Structure 1
Amino acid sequence: MLKSIEKIKGLGVYQNYNKPAGTQEFGIKNLIYGWNYSGKTTLSRLFAQLEAKTTNPDLFGCEFSFETDNDAITEKNFTLSSISVRVFNSDFVKANLHFDGGSFNPILLLGKESEEAQRKIDKLVERIKRSDSVQRKLNGEVEALKSRIAQTKTEAAKFIRQRLKVDPYTAAHLGQDVQVVSILDSQLLMEKELSDAIELALTPDSKRPSTVDELQASPAIEALYKEAVTVLAATPSFSRTLKHLEENPEIERWVQSGLHLHSTTGACEFCGNELSPARLEALRTHFSKDLTDHQEKVNGLLERVKAAELRLTWPKAAELNPQFRDSYNLAIDVLPAAINALNQAIKKLTGEVQRKADDSRKTMTPSPLAQGLEVVIKDAVTAVNAIIKQNNELASNFTKARSDSLRKAKYHYVQQFLDEQDAAGLEVKRDRQVKRYERLKAYVAKFQPEIDKLQAQISQAQQGREKINERLASMLGSEAVQIKVVKDPAGQDRFQMIRKDGAPAKNLSDGERTAIAFSYFLTKLQEIKPAEFKETIVYIDDPISSLDANHIFQVTAAIRALFFTQQDKNAPWKTTCKQFFVSTHNFEFFNLLREIKPVASKQGARLFLIKRIAEKSSTLEDMPASLARYQSEYHFLFEVIHQFNQAPDKTAHDVLMLLPNAMRRFVELYTYSRLPGPKDSELVDERAEVLFGVERAKRILKIFHYFSHGNTLDRFAGNNELIFDLEHAVRDLIDAITENDRPHMDALIAATQP
């Protein structure tokens, strides 16, 4: 329950409001009286912010504090407040009622919920239209891209068909290959690989390749050279040697070669002389077994070195399949020079071993051997044989190899097609546009259920139409306007205002619009469940604007029926809601509501006054006794005038701001009570001239006519010379009534006393 407003800062006429000391707390029923421009509507907007739980942009930056039964509600925490509030004011009317349409078919859009729902429907329908337009555009773009992609596929398939001589090969075949290639690593071939693959793929059976023999070569020099190093460095051991033979190796070799012919003594086969046993023994001793073994090693090495010379022949390149010829020639080109280098090294080693054989006793060292003679030849032979092996495998599996080459070449062109498509981005563009198209379809598909839901909300919002009609008849009479449901061009339900004869209600008066708005508000409140309504705070700001006295009674009756209840006519009034606030500038309406006095311990009815005390300063305080005691605004108006007349400082702003309107209104009521003729036939000036005299009446009314239409200090500040006449004008009025109607003046003064 709200107990009081402790402060308001930076809000309209409440620039620095603090609750006046001694002001009573809010009760269950709270009536707030104030003249126009005093700050009633601004106060209602503060309550409306508690209802919305969101900041009103017009109230942004203001500070406020409501004291409650629990923690204070301020601008910092009001969005978290759990209190339930409902507010009727001019903002509610603007938000919920719009009287649109032409003069022959006025349509009433009734209810913020239904209007908001219809606005959402209109937006959704517009979105659907825009989406349909975009979808058509996207569909056209997708079809154009599909056509371009299909054309490129057709052209690519035609190229592959003609280049590789595969028939049939259509865009459909290309599409199948695209699915395969797209999941593999890149199938692009190097230029040579592609050329070989195409050549093999196009090779007819009549030109299928034949097999060729692999090369057989086992170059051996390193082991022989290693052995030669040992053999050439070795010398035989001798027990007794013949110096002549030792010094003449050729003779020695000659003698050694023929010694076996003279196994026994006898005549020499060369000279015929007798070969003595001693000489034969000497020769045999010279040629020892160690020498013989050594010579055999040297001679054996010599034979093997001579045999190591390499003689190798190889197939001609023309004997191989064309795709291998270039690589074959590159590999085979290494062999001639390598073989020649090997054979030259062998010849050189042969000569060195031969010299050792000719002079066994001489220690020798072979010339250094070049590195890698065997490896170069072996590697070259291995490379050549690898190519020959590929050629032979191809020859042996020609049909499969040709098929594989055709597949490689074809996949190369398919990959090329895919890369070109990626570069052009046609597939990506198409897929992107298709996804946008599908998203739009899904997006639009969600709209219809939402539209149906919103239309159901509108229908639900219009269920109170008959109840509103009942209230209109009560407030405005049987001739009042009524609401009926009509269809707009889009087939949506709308409320149309009609007269009793069924004709469209044109040019609705302000009073009729006020009655419609308040009827709608009361009907909306009845949507709240009773248990929830008991916990709801209701604030109503001036619901009787532009209504005459009869209608004011009807509005009062409607308020009494909805917000107050009695068990019987003698029982006290009780409120049906948690707290009830009404602010008004109409004293008659104020008095009618004042008659309803709900009884509750310490929380009954409360009366408050809002008054303007400065240009940007209003205050909310307890109702003055002059208003609280009497059933008339007249006493209060006189009290304002009397207080000014008695005030020692007549420049105080709180007095100046109230005085012009109070003076003008008091003169109207006083002169009318004295001269109660037809109200519309006489002006207050005319009545005042009759009662006060022409000159005095002009002095009294001139200044108050001027200032009563201004509500700012600027108007006072710009007319200093007139301000000085305020005191004289008030004095003239007091004197005029005192002179002409002393009992009336005495009674008024008495009424202002405590």
Structure 2
Amino acid sequence: MKISRLPRIKGYRVFRDFTWPEDLHGFAQFNVIYGWNGSGKTTLSSLFENLQDKRPVSDGDVVFAFDDSSRKIAGNRIAEEAVPHVRVFNRDFVARTIEAIGKSNVAPIYYLGKESIEKQKQIESLRDERQRAVKASDKAENKKRKAEKALDNFCIEKAKFIKETLLGSPDHANYDKRGFRQAVASIKASPQPRALAEEEKADFRKQKELKAKGTIPKISAPSVDIADLKTRVSLLLGRSVVSQVIADLANDPTVGAWVQQGLSLHKGERETDTCRFCGNDFSAHRRAALEAHFNDAFASFQDEAGQEIKEINRLHESFEAVAVVFPDTSRFYENLAEEAEKAISTAKEVVHEVIRVLDSLTAILKKKKANPFESVSLEAGEPNLESPGQSISAAIDAVNEIIDKHESITGNLTTEIRNAYRALEQGYVLEAVPRFDELEELAADAETTLGQVKDKPSEIKANIASLEREIREHRRPAEELNRELRAYLGRDELKFDIKETGYALSRSGQPASDLSEGERTAIAFLYFLKTLEDKDFDVSKGVVLIDDPVSSLDANALFSAFGYMKVRTKDCHQLFILTHNFSFFRQVKNWFHHMKGQGKKKLEQRPARFYSLHTTLTDGFRNAAITRIDPLLEEYESEYHFLFRQVYEVANDTTPETELSQFYGMPNIARRLIETFLAYRFPDSSGDLIKRFDRVEFDAAKKTRILRLLNTYSHSGGITEPEHDPSVLAETRDVMKAILELIQSVDAEHYSGMVNLLTPAGEDSYNG
């Protein structure tokens, strides 16, 4: 598939309103388009770039025609239609193809090829990203380290506090952060225990300080039923003895008791008829009376009352003994002392209450015994006869229960002390858990953050290594590049050396810290020609466009470059060459003229065709157009012929001037014509156009007029004026005549020869 023409280009950059002329032949296999700077070559090459990238033309109205022009594709549909494979070399390609990348300003590293440059830029970007990733990783690592250190220091601090607080505990002698962490884990693994109150802590602190104390025997409480005892006493008190009562004895119990005892001393072995007290006779009658008074009933009652009193006295002695055997509270462990003191005090009160009851019962029985003939009753209102408020057994049991605790502590003292230590440890650990959790969460967050970034540097490093491998795989050997560059430029000043993933360039043995525009273009063009051998591009089926590949090259280098290009593009399916360099154009022209079939009469049968690209001024704006090349440019070896003809035709044009825009390009043409003429006429004069003008002997006013036009409207770097003066452009035709006069004045023979070349003999319409 070949591109036959560009039927329409409207509103696209400098091509404001271009329609392919009906009389302009279509593109052939080989095509050269000649146009000066600013004529639209870059714009035209950008349209071919759209085809190359299958990128729609977003601006203006552009149409491409293919093969016999029967197939046309709008520029905005390029991506959707089948188009030929295109490769474009232009300034954009140069910019994309060779670039110095890196931070070294002394010996930069150069990279060739868009992909390699993009990958190396990715590498540079990744290196920066890796530095940031390393910093982020280091920062996260440092944050994690600090968080873990804070947690570790907290554990150490708490472990030290617990160890010092529980000094003396074998289990905590080597207590450290590991023990503290284990304790925290144990608390968190089970239902969380209740926090200790300060009072509980004080008790456990006392408990852990316990020392083994002596055994405390239990207290045996006498068995007594006060209610039953009072019942028995009440019954005795209610009994009355029946006998022949001697009133004096009955009324005086003391005397009666004395007499009764005396009577017993006068019986049995001691029996006598003499009173042992007074020595008088103890008559039988008195003995019988006394014995009647103290008969068997009396004696029986006296015996019963005596036995009851004896029993009560026994109980009294038992309780008196109990009252003095209660242990001192100092014998108890400190944590039991208070409880023991309360229980013992209560028990003593109960014992003394019992003793008081027994004393009251004894007293009332003795009174009854002394006077058995009188009935006596217990008075419930007497305080000393009230039963104690608490059971004696319950009170004694309460004391014994504390004694059991004491004994249990003694028997399990080691366990009790250990439990106290452990309870205190648990309490201290429990208080530390909230802060531990907070620090642990910070450490966990830091660990998570680190986990998110720690692998990033190595991942980026792997990506960099992968890209570097890809660049190296596609990097051409330095020897091959040097050989091609030497063949292209015709000299070997520049040399490539492999460095890292790119190349170090040297110029005449010294590092090339910068490349000239010509050198950059040459290297890029070499690379471009090499890409025509890529697997994804078949040059025999593809379209190649080359825009000014010899920028800034000298004549020798230009010739070598052309020969190099010719060899590598001669088999193109379709080739377009755009140039403003007439020397290069002449090389291409000669190549095309010597192609097989180029001499055929029918233009459509020729393999190569020639075009011009120029601009006109419309409504104050440049408008580019593709036209057939002027025959002088195609047929003659010098651009000078063409320039002379342009100036000559304007100077001799007799048609009325309609628009100044028709003269817009003439100042440039005139400048190039004069510069070329004066350069040959005065080869020993260097400098700009004004200096050469100084050597020309010609009318000063006309010279000034010529320079004024060139200063205003030409694009020379040496002739500039800030503003365009339309009135100056109106003088174009007269100035062109003045230029011809100048040439004729300086070299009449040369002038005549040029005129004869343009017109039949004798038809010079302007001869000065």
Give the TM interval when normalised to the shorter protein.
0.5 to 0.7
CA drift of 1:175 comes to 2.1
CA contact (8 A) 2:208 2:420 kept: no
In the other structure, the counterpart of 2:467 is: 454
Query: What letter is aligned with 2:706?
Result: L
Q: Distance in 2 between matches of 1:670 and 1:734?
A: 11
Q: Deviation of residue 34 (structure 1)?
A: 0.8
Determine if contact 2:4/2:28 at 8 Å carries over to the other structure: yes
User: Could you say what secondary structure the match of 1:47 adopts?
Assistant: helix
Relative to structure 1, is the Cα distance of residues 180 and 421 closer, same or farther in structure 2, using a 3 angstrom cutoff? same
d(CA) in 2 for partners of 1:29 and 1:194? 106
Q: For 2:666, which of 649, 659, 676 is the aligned residue?
A: 659
Task: Give yes or no for the alignment of 1:148 onto 2:150.
Answer: yes
* TM-score for the superposition, normalised by structure 2: 0.58
Q: Distance in 2 between matches of 1:750 and 1:465?
A: 58
Aligned to 1:433: 446
CA deviation after TM superposition for structure 1 residue 612, in Å = 1.9
Spell out the pairing of 1:192-341 with structure 2 (5 A cutoff). Answer: none
**Residue 91 of structure 2 corresponds to residue 90 of structure 1:** yes
SS of the residue 2:95 aligns to: helix
Equivalent of 2:755 in 745, 749, 753: 745
CA distance in 1, matches of 2:435, 2:513: 71
1:102–1:200 Cα change, 3 Å: closer
Which residue of the partner structure matches residue 387 of structure 1?
none
Q: Is the 8 A contact 1:108 1:494 kept in 2?
A: yes
**Aligned partners of 2:550 and 2:558 also within 8 Å:** yes
Using the TM superposition, name which of 431-440 and 639-648 deviates more.
639-648
Q: Distance in 2 between matches of 1:154 and 1:686?
A: 92
Map residues 573-612 of structure 1 onto 2, 5 A cutoff. 575=572, 578-594=573-589, 595-596=591-592, 597=595, 604-612=607-615
Is it true that 1:701 corresponds to 2:702 in the alignment?
A: no
Residue 523 of structure 2 is matched in structure 1 by: 516
Residue aligned with 2:92, SS: helix
Structure 1: distance between partners of 2:120 and 2:104: 22
Question: Which stretch has the larger CA shift, 630-639 or 685-694?
Answer: 685-694
Task: Tell me, in whole angstroms, the C-alpha distance in 1 between the residues paired with 2:92 and 2:416.
Answer: 88
Could you say if the C-alpha distance between residues 653 and 412 of structure 1 is closer, same or farther in structure 2, counting changes exceeding 3 Å? farther
Aligned-pair CA distance for 1:557: 1.1
Secondary structure of 2:455 counterpart: helix
Q: Any conservation in 1 of the 2:612–2:630 contact (CA below 8 Å)? A: no
* Preserved CA contact (<8 Å) 2:668 2:715: no
- Structure 1 position 172 matched with structure 2 position 178: yes
The 2-side partners of 1:647 and 1:195 are apart by 125
> Distance in 2 between the 1:416 and 1:6 partners?
89
Alignment partner, residue 555 of structure 1: 561
Distance 2:753 2:117 in 1: 59
Shift of 1:726: 1.7
Partners of 2:682 and 2:692 within 8 A in 1: no
Partner residue in 1 for 2:622: 617
1:665/1:692 CA distance change after superposition, 3 Å = farther
For residue 530 of structure 1, report the CA deviation from its aligned partner. Answer: 7.4
Aligned-partner Cα distance in 2 for 1:185–1:546: 88
Structure 1 CA distance, aligned partners of 2:154 and 2:132? 33
Deviation string, structure 1 residues 215-274 (Cα, Å, up to 9, x no partner) = xxxxxxxxxxxxxxxxxxxxxxxxxxxxxxxxxxxxxxxxxxxxxxxxxxxxxxxxxxxx
Root mean square deviation of aligned Cα: 5.5
Q: Which amino acid aligns with 2:88?
A: V
Residue aligning to 1:39: 40
Q: Check 1:404–1:654 CA distance in 2 against 1; reply closer, same or farther (3 A cut).
A: farther
Could you list the runs of 5+ residues in structure 1 that have no partner in the other structure?
208-321, 323-394, 566-574
Aligned to 2:31: 30
In 2, the alpha carbon distance for the partners of 1:21 and 1:634 equals 27
DSSP-derived class of the 1:72 partner? strand
Give me the whole-angstrom Cα distance separating, in 2, the residues matched to 1:151 and 1:709. Answer: 82
Structure 1: how far apart are the matches of 2:458 and 2:520? 40
Kept in 1, the 8 Å contact 2:615–2:625? The answer is no
**Secondary structure of the structure 1 residue equivalent to 2:730:** helix
Match of 1:483 in 2: 495
Q: Which letter maps to 1:617?
A: R
Q: After superposition, what is the alpha-carbon deviation per residue over 1:520-542, rounded to whole angstroms, capped at 9, x for unaligned?
A: 3323443x127544444322211
The 3 A distance-change label for structure 1 pair 589 and 189 is same
Structure-1 separation of matches of 2:574 and 2:668? 32
Measure, in 2, the Cα distance between the counterparts of 1:133 and 1:513: 38
Shift in Å, 1:20: 3.6
| TM-superposed deviation, 1:717 | 7.0
Deviation, structure 1 residue 581: 2.0
Contact 1:696 1:732 in 2 (8 A): no
Confirm whether residue 62 of structure 1 aligns to residue 64 of structure 2: no
Distance 1:682 1:126 in 2: 49
Cα distance change on mapping 1:79 and 1:149 into 2, 3 Å: farther
* Preserved CA contact (<8 Å) 2:111 2:502: no
**Residues 159-198 of structure 1: per-residue CA shift (max 9 Å, x gap):** 6668897636543233234445445565555969988997
Structure 2: gaps of 5 or more residues: 214-334, 336-407, 599-603, 764-768
Amino acid at match of 1:465: A
Instruction: List per-residue Cα deviations over 1:282-317 (Å, max 9, x = no partner).
Output: xxxxxxxxxxxxxxxxxxxxxxxxxxxxxxxxxxxx
Per-residue deviation, 1:89? 2.3
**Partner in structure 1 of residue 485 of structure 2:** 472
Partner of 2:535: 529
Structure 2 counterpart of 1:539, from 545, 558, 566: 545
| Alpha-carbon distance between aligned partners in 2 of 1:623 and 1:560, rounded to the nearest angstrom | 23
Q: Report the alpha carbon displacement of residue 37 of structure 1 after superposing the two structures with TM.
A: 1.8
Q: Return the letter of the residue paired with 1:65.
A: V
C-alpha change, 1:504 and 1:444, in structure 2 (3 Å) is: closer
Q: Does 1:630 align with 2:635?
A: yes
8 A Cα contact 2:612 2:626, kept in partner: yes
| Matched-pair contact (CA < 8 Å) for 2:48–2:545 | yes
Q: CA deviation at 1:441?
A: 3.1
Shift of 1:549: 2.9
Supply the distance in 1 between the matched residues of 2:541 and 2:197 (Cα, whole angstroms): 88
Residue identity matched to 2:731: D
Pair 1:180–1:738, CA change in 2 (3 A): same
Q: How much identity, in percent, do the aligned residues show?
A: 24
User: How far is the alpha carbon of 1:658 from its aligned partner?
Assistant: 1.2
Q: TM-score w.r.t. structure 1 length? A: 0.59
CA contact (8 A) 1:6 1:64 kept: no
Letter in 2 for 1:109: Y
Which one of the candidate residues 407, 419, 425 is aligned to 2:434?
419
Alignment size in residue pairs? 552
Q: Does the Cα contact within 8 Å between 1:27 and 1:605 map onto a contact in 2? A: yes
Describe the SS at the equivalent of 1:463. coil
Q: 1:125/1:736 Cα in 2 relative to 1: closer, same or farther (>3 Å)?
A: closer
Secondary structure at the aligned position of 2:31 is classed as strand
Q: Tell me which amino acid in the other structure corresponds to 2:659.
A: A
**2:143, 2:754 → 1: CA distance?**
92
